[in-house]
Amino acid sequence: MSPAPLGLVVLISGYGSNLQAIMDATASGEIATRIRAVISNRPAAPGLDRARQAGIPAVVVEGRRGQPRSEYDSALQRAIEPFEPDLIALAGFMRILTPGFVQHYAGRMLNIHPSLLPRYRGLHTHQRALEAGDAFHGASIHYVTEELDGGPVVRQARVPVLDGDDEASLANRVQLAEHRIYPEVIGWVASGRLAWRDGAPWLDGQPMNGPVVTETDGLGGVRPSGE
């Protein structure tokens, strides 16, 4: 008898392209997951319509101007808990979470960030990579800890910066890589390959000393450079 699919809640704020990649991988059977809910802090987030069209509960937890972060996070936690997720995937969720919230879901929350962490934590990562003259940019998947974009990185995709790139063209190619590696990492959790033990990620029964790195051709193709 095959194990039950991994119960997943996805947090979004916008368009939901990574959500769609996860949905597609789930629907095709590529990863053994069940998306139990999609939650957004923005009522107009297009990703909510993606969820509704797929028959997935779409929930809005909208913050109020001046609302304490701890109060918002308590409301978010109350919205999440009925779905009893095994894993929470942040997919463009544009809020900084409080330490209490992060601690509650320690080892059960992943985030995808559009840079090669620890470079360029925070916003405007593509612009910053171009201004620095970097030869490579990319995306990172990491466990969420109290430090902003500072949790252990488990997967990275390196994307070459091409001559003539602007912020939009570079962002588009990074996003293609994101759509491949985020479902993959969620699949690792679902299959038991990736686990959180003693405050650190373990892959295939061994503690991770660094992320699995993926090289790309800059056009969406990916090739693991070591696993």
CB-count exposure of residue 80 (10 Å: 0-12, 13-18, 19+)? buried
pTM for this model (two decimals): 0.94
The answer to whether residue 149 is domain-embedded is yes
The answer to whether residue 1 is domain-embedded is no
Torsion angles phi and psi, residue 96, rounded to 5: -90, 125
Q: Per-residue pLDDT tens for 116-152?
A: 999 999 999 999 999 999 999 999 999 999 999 999 9
CA dihedral 188, 194, 196, 200 (to 10 degrees): -130
Give the count of domains, the chain: 1
For 201, the domain range is: 6-224
The answer to whether residue 108 is domain-embedded is yes
Q: Per-residue pLDDT tens for 141-190?
A: 999 999 999 999 999 999 999 999 999 999 999 999 999 999 999 999 99
The answer to whether residue 56 is domain-embedded is yes
The answer to whether residue 47 is domain-embedded is yes
Confirm if 37 and 56 have CB atoms less than 8 A apart: yes
Confirm if 195 and 189 have CB atoms less than 8 A apart: yes
The answer to whether residue 32 is domain-embedded is yes
CATH number of the domain where residue 62 is located: 3.40.50.170
CB-count exposure of residue 75 (10 Å: 0-12, 13-18, 19+)? middle
The answer to whether residue 139 is domain-embedded is yes
Helix ranges (DSSP H) in 81-220: 99-104, 125-131, 167-191
The answer to whether residue 204 is domain-embedded is yes
Which is catalytic among the residues 113, 126, 142, 179?
113
Q: Is 137 an active-site residue? A: no
